[in-house]
Chain A
Amino acid sequence: MEVTGSLKRRSPWLARSVSSLAGAAMFVAPLLALVAIWAVVVPLFDINPRVFPSVGSVGTAAMDSIRDGTLPAHVGASLLRVGLGTLIGIVTAVPLGIAMGVSPTVAAFLTPLFRFFSVLAGIAWIPIATLWFGYGFGAIVFVIFNAVFFVVAYNTLLGVKTIPHTLRNAASSLGAGRWALLTEVLLPGALPNIVTGIRTGLGFAWRGLIAAEMIATNVGLGYMLFVARDFYRTEVIVFGMIVIGVLWLLIDRLLLVPLERATIERWGMVRRA
C-alpha cells in the first residue's frame, strides 16, 4: 500500500501497471493452482480419459486444433455471431431506450415488459428461434441479439431517467435543440447505464451462444464441445471450455472494463444499475 501510494504520486502510469500486474498475478494464481491439482490427481488415481482428460492430452488437443485450423474456424464463427448479434442489439436498443426514457408515460408502460424480457433473454429463445430462422446462423444471431437487446434497452431507459432534469434545462437554455439534447446530454448521460447493460447483455449472450451452437449449427465453440462428446473426446471438451472462459475474460477485461474506465470513472459518475 505504502509503495503504491508513493508511486502513484511520482508516476501514475508505473503505479497503475504495477498494480494491474499484481492484480493479474492474484487472478492467475488460483487458476494455476487448479491446473497443478489437476496434473497430480489424474495420474494419481489413474482416471479414465473418457471421464476426465490429463493436462498433457488437453495440451495436445489444443496444439492439434490450432494446427489443423479447426480452432480458428470455431472461434471465428462464434465471435462473428456474437459480434453481429451484439451490434444489432445495441444499435436498436439504445435509440429505443432513449425514446422510452424521455417520455415518462411510455417508460412507465414499457418498463415491466422490458424487465420481463430481460430475465427471459437468451437461452429460452433458442427453440422458437430455430422455428423462425431454421438451424444455423440466423437463429444464433437472433438469440444473441435478443440477449443484448432487452437488457441494453432497459438500462438505457434507466440511464435517461436518472439524468438530472437541470442538465436538460441547462442545455436548452444554452441553445440546444432536440438533436443536440439527444447527442450532448441524453446519450452521454445514459452512457454509464448503457455500458452496464452491454456488459450484462454480453454475459447472457455468451452463454446463449454456446447453448445455441450445441443445438443449431455445425461450427462454433458450442458445436465443438457437443461433437467431441459423441466421440468421448474429453480432452477436446475441456480444452473448449477453457477457450470459452478465456475468451470471455478477454472480452470483458480488454473491451468492456476499459470502456467503463474511459467514461464513467473519468467523469466521476457512479454507475446506477
Chain B
Amino acid sequence: MKTLSLKNLAKTYFDPYAGSHVNAVHDVSLNVEQGEFVSVVGPSGCGKTTILNMIAGFIPYTGGEILLDGKPVREPGPERGVVFQSFALFPWKTVLDNVGFGPKMRGVPKAERDRIAREYLALAGLSHAAHRYPNELSGGMQQRVGVVRALANNPDVLLMDEPFASVDAQTRMTLQEELTRIWQERKPTVLFITHDVSEAVFLANRVVVLSKGRILDQVEVDLPRPRVWDDLVKDDKFKQLSARVLQMVRAA
C-alpha cells in the first residue's frame, strides 16, 4: 500500500518585506491511504495551498516530514501528479502532447504515448480536441485536460488545489461529477483542496477541516457512488454532512 503520510508537518515563511515570520502550517499529521479520496477544506489563508505545495515538492517544509510509500519527499516528482487552479497547460503544445508529456518524460516512444494520451482524452470526453491548442478550449475543457494530463502519468497520488474554482458554476458541477466517475473507474489516490464545503463532501471519502494551519477535525463521507448532483441535493445524509462541515469551517 502506498500511503501518503504527513507527520507533524510545519511551514514558517519568512516575509522579507515585513521582516517577520509567518507560521502558515503548524503540526499537521494526516494519512491518505492508497485509493482514498480525501478533501481538505478550510477558509482562505488557512494554509491549504502551502500544504499541497510542500507535498508536491514545490516549496521546502520547515518542520516534520512527508512520506510517500515510506520514503521522504523533498523535490517535485512524477509519482505526485498535480492539477493546478490555473490549469498550467503548455500553450505551445497540442492537447495530445500536453497529455502525453508525462509519458514523454519517462521515455515512452511517440506512438505509445499518443495511444496513452488518446485513451485518457477519451476518458474525459475530449477525443475531438486532441489536435487543438489550449487557448482554443474553454476553461472547463482546459481543466479536463489538466486532470487527465496528471492521470496519464499514473501517479501514486493526485494533488488538486482548487482545480474547479475558476470555471463557471454549471461547468464546475459537471467537472465534479466527471471526477467522481473517473475516480471510480481508476481509483487514484487523491488529495483535493477546496474552500467549497459542498464540493469537498460531494467528492470525498473523507473530509479534513483545516483552520489556521491546524487540522480541526475529520469527517467520513459514506455516501453511495456514483454521485450526481441531481440526487445529492435532495439527499438528507448529504445535507447533514455538509451542514456539519460548514459549521466547523465557520467556527474555524
Contacts and interface: CB of A to CB of B under 8 A. Distances in A.
A11 interface: no
A164 B89 CA distance: 11
A153 interface: no
A267 B77 contact: no
A266 B94 CA distance: 10
Contacts of A188: 90, 92
B90 A184 contact: yes
Contacts of A164: 86, 88
Contacts of A176: 101, 105
B47 interface: no
Contact of B81 (A171, A173, A189): A173
A173 to B, nearest CB: 4
**Most chain B beta-carbon neighbours within 10 Å: one of A173, A175, A180, A189:** A173
A174 B105 contact: yes
Contacts, number: 71
**Most chain B beta-carbon neighbours within 10 Å: one of A167, A169, A266, A269:** A169
Mostly, the B contact residues are: loop
Interface residues of B, number: 28
A75 interface: no
A173 B136 contact: no
Contacts of B105: 174-177, 180
B131 to A, nearest CB: 12
B102 interface: yes
Contact of A169 (B58, B90, B106, B150): B58
A126 B80 CA distance: 56
A174 B91 contact: no
Interface of B: 56-58, 75-78, 80-82, 84, 86, 88-92, 101-102, 105-106, 133-136, 149-150, 153
29 contacts: A164-B86, A166-B84, A167-B90, A169-B56, A169-B58, A169-B82, A169-B88, A170-B88, A172-B57, A173-B56, A173-B58, A173-B76, A173-B80, A174-B78, A174-B101, A174-B150, A174-B153, A175-B78, A175-B105, A175-B153, A176-B105, A191-B92, A266-B133, A267-B91, A267-B92, A267-B133, A268-B133, A268-B134, A269-B91
